[in-house]
């Protein structure tokens, strides 16, 4: 059937203008910074989809990284860093091994503290070398990106998004010290939302809630050594005083890599979207395993409903 345009000339001109605009808006330019480790495998899923839809993607990564490798789905920009590839892998493997080790709260706390300190120091040096790589920063300035995707666990991407004055999309599992809740002004009452290392669920008795409040105080200590160096770096690079919390508050969209099927529900803001399914994209459980998994989920749900 032939396309019949409206006879009114003004309507015809309007349609032609709209069609021409749509042809120009076929795709955008996305900058990806500070996404490595396990989040990278999940990010690859939707980067592939974005590429198929005509978007242009540029991934910036340090020369020594864990999992970021070249792909036909994006342009990769590598910048030199001091730490070699073997050293980064060794440090991360020790971090993972110690994170799953058993022990008392104090043993686990100080083990995690030391490992996070080492990993964050390496990541901070990588970030410093990125921000002061004049040639790469000039390229990013001239590329006119539409948005920046980053894992804000360490805020190098947030600093760069502020410098380039582009919207930031956060792709995360967690941010240290609960700053994701504070930055998004999302309710996080200690009587309901369990803190790290407590092993509590969202159903707590009075003593567990008291313990939760006490554990929450440790966040102030953790944030100090992880994020303070970034505040100084951001202030120097942006040439104005800035805090990490201020940078996090400018996030446009929060993509949360968890799912309430496996976790307790919690209050979220409208620009916070749970995308836990991306971790399992194109992966299927065997038929028996799938049945056992669904049975476990249903039993957990029914037990929770009975207790309520």
Q: Which CATH class is domain 27-307?
A: alpha beta
Rounded Cα distance, 95 and 38, in Å: 13
Burial of 227 (0-12, 13-18, 19+ CB in 10 A): buried
**C-alpha closest to that of 264 among 204, 175, 211:** 204
Where exactly are the structural domains of the chain?
27-307
**Is 198 a residue whose pLDDT tops 80?**
no
**Pairing verdict, β 75-79 and 147-150:** unpaired
**C-alpha closest to that of 222 among 119, 151, 103, 126:** 119
Residue range 53-76, pLDDT digits in tens: 999 999 999 988 878 888 999 999
Q: Are 129 and 79 in contact (CB under 8 A)?
A: yes
Q: Are 111 and 103 in contact (CB under 8 A)?
A: yes
Residue range 131-182, pLDDT digits in tens: 999 999 999 999 999 999 999 988 999 999 999 999 999 999 888 777 888 8
Q: Are 29 and 145 in contact (CB under 8 A)?
A: yes
Percent of the chain with pLDDT over 90: 33
Which of 156-165, 227-236, 268-277, 281-290 comes out lowest in average pLDDT? 281-290
Both structure tokens of 50: 């974005």
Kindly compute the dihedral angle of the four CA atoms of residues 204, 207, 211, 214, in this order, to the nearest 10 degrees: 120
Which of 11-20, 39-48, 179-188, 196-205 comes out lowest in average pLDDT? 11-20
As a whole number, the mean pLDDT across the chain is 77
User: Which run of H or of E encompasses 117?
Assistant: helix 105-131
Supply φ then ψ for residue 148, to 5 degrees.
-125, 130
pLDDT at 307: 35
């Amino acid at each position: 059937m032939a396309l019949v345009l409206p006879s009114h000339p003004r309507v015809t001109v309007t349609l032609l203008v709209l069609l021409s605009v749509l042809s120009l808006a076929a795709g955008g330019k996305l900058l990806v910074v500070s996404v490595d480790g396990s989040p990278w495998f999940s990010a690859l899923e939707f980067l592939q989809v974005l590429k198929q839809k005509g978007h242009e993607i540029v991934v910036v990564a340090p020369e020594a990284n864990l999992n970021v490798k070249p792909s036909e789905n994006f342009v990769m920009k590598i910048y030199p860093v001091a730490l070699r590839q073997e050293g980064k892998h060794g440090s991360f493997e020790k971090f993972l091994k110690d994170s799953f080790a058993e022990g008392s709260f104090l043993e686990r706390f100080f083990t995690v503290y030391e490992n996070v300190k080492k990993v964050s120091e390496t990541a901070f040096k990588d970030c410093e070398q990125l921000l002061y790589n004049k040639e790469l920063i000039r390229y990013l300035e001239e590329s006119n990106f539409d948005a920046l995707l980053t894992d804000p666990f360490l805020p190098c991407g947030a600093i760069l998004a502020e410098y380039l004055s582009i919207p930031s999309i956060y792709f995360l599992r967690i941010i240290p010290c609960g700053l994701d809740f504070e930055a998004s002004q999302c309710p996080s009452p200690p009587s309901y939302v369990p803190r790290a290392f407590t092993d509590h669920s969202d159903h707590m008795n009075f003593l567990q809630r008291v313990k939760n409040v006490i554990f929450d105080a440790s966040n102030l200590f953790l944030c100090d050594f992880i994020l303070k160096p970034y505040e100084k770096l951001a202030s120097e690079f942006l040439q104005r005083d800035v805090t990490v919390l201020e940078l996090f508050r400018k996030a446009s969209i929060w993509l949360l890599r968890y799912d309430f099927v496996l976790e307790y529900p919690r209050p979220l803001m409208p620009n916070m979207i749970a995308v836990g399914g991306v971790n399992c994209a194109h992966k299927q459980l065997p038929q028996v395993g799938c049945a056992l998994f669904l049975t476990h989920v249903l039993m957990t749900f029914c037990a929770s409903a009975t207790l309520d």
